[in-house]
Amino acid sequence: MKPKPNRVLADYGLYFVLLALVLVSAILSPLFFSYNNLANLLTQASFTGLLALGMTFVILMGGIDLSVGSMVGFASILYATVLHGALFTFMPKEIFVYQGAPKLTPILPLPLDVLFVLAVGAFFGLISGFISYRFRIHSFIVTLCVMIFTRGLAVSYTHGQPLFGVPDSISYLAYGLPAKIPMPTIIWLGASLLCLLFLRYTRFGRGIYAVGGGEEAARLSGIQPAWYRIFPYIASGFFAALVGIMMSGRMGCGDPKIGQGWELDAIAAVVIGGTSLSGGKGSIGGTVVGVLIMGLVINILNLLEIQAYPQAMAKGIIIVGALALHSVLSRRRSR
């Protein structure tokens, strides 16, 4: 069977869109290809990109995870808490408006504190996945509840205040520039590569596709769905916690209110990347491109000096437009 032109367009259409956006950006603004702009674009995209990786797992399996934005905020203050070695709930409110250099008494040494927060993120994912699987509640509702709960926990625990005093060592995760490449981008692309290998070259990865594409067919092929159902949420919680730690480093503080609405950016990027919301179809490669497309759209609007709210309007229209186009192309393909 020779590929038909439409098929090429449907399979690689995403890359054409990416290319077109790069060209449009370059034409619209001479600043586009400047180092600062590109580094900035990539750094911004990396945070959405990491969330989108976990989200890809979840959506491939046929679920959705709304809790990642809140998890970023919670992980960010949890990390600061571990550094401070104190539970702040019982302290007077004034302590949060901390100006001077804090005296840190970290609970755990450096790699362990990060691992602890990552583990907590993964654990929250495990809870979401387990509840959704065991009690047959749609993940939309379960993760919505986890989202509300986690945000509430983060904000009430710190009285809504940021926790300062995050050391420079962790800021490197957000600001480091080895070989002039932003550190977040290296983490993002590295993680993407690992996820890609995992989903494409392991039986477990293929099992996620299978369960998402048709649970009964998967079961008849000898797959027990439970872990395939739960694991994606663990991955998603893990990546959200990672982003939370990186955000602490970036801002120099733990902020309970960070990450609001980020889950929607991640979902949009995954879907733009061609992953089907009904599960079983999609790829990490697509998600990476989807993230870049989202980043480019925002970048273009920034370069054109469009204000935040009109920018949001434009973003909404562009995302729906891209998906409609994609749907038309792929329907033509299946004929």
Which positions lie near other proteins, rule CB under 8 A? 1, 197, 200-203, 206-207, 209-210, 213-214, 216-223, 276, 280-281, 334
Of the two residues 27 and 220, which places its CB atom closer to other proteins in the complex? 220
Distance separating alpha carbons of residues 282 and 263, to the nearest angstrom: 18
Of the two residues 209 and 238, which places its CB atom closer to other proteins in the complex? 209
Smallest distance from other proteins to CB 279, Å: 9
Of the two residues 44 and 275, which places its CB atom closer to other proteins in the complex? 275
- Alpha-carbon dihedral 84, 85, 91, 95, rounded to 10 degrees: -10
Written as one letter, the residue type at 58 is V
| H/E run at residue 254 | strand 253-254
Contact criterion met (CB below 8 Å) for 109 and 291? no
Smallest distance from other proteins to CB 325, Å: 20
Query: If we measure between CA atoms, which residue out of 151, 79, 81, 84 comes closest to residue 115?
Result: 79
Smallest distance from other proteins to CB 10, Å: 12
Contact criterion met (CB below 8 Å) for 277 and 271? yes
Of the two residues 136 and 203, which places its CB atom closer to other proteins in the complex? 203
Of the two residues 102 and 225, which places its CB atom closer to other proteins in the complex? 225
Phi/psi at 254 (nearest 5 deg)?
-90, 130
Token pair for 103: 């005296």
Smallest distance from other proteins to CB 65, Å: 21
Q: Which residues pair with 163 in a beta bridge?
A: 254
Distance separating alpha carbons of residues 89 and 143, to the nearest angstrom: 25
Of the two residues 207 and 295, which places its CB atom closer to other proteins in the complex? 207
Smallest distance from other proteins to CB 217, Å: 4
Smallest distance from other proteins to CB 207, Å: 6
The alpha carbon of 168 is separated from its chain's Cα centroid by a whole number of angstroms, namely 24
Contact criterion met (CB below 8 Å) for 77 and 150? no
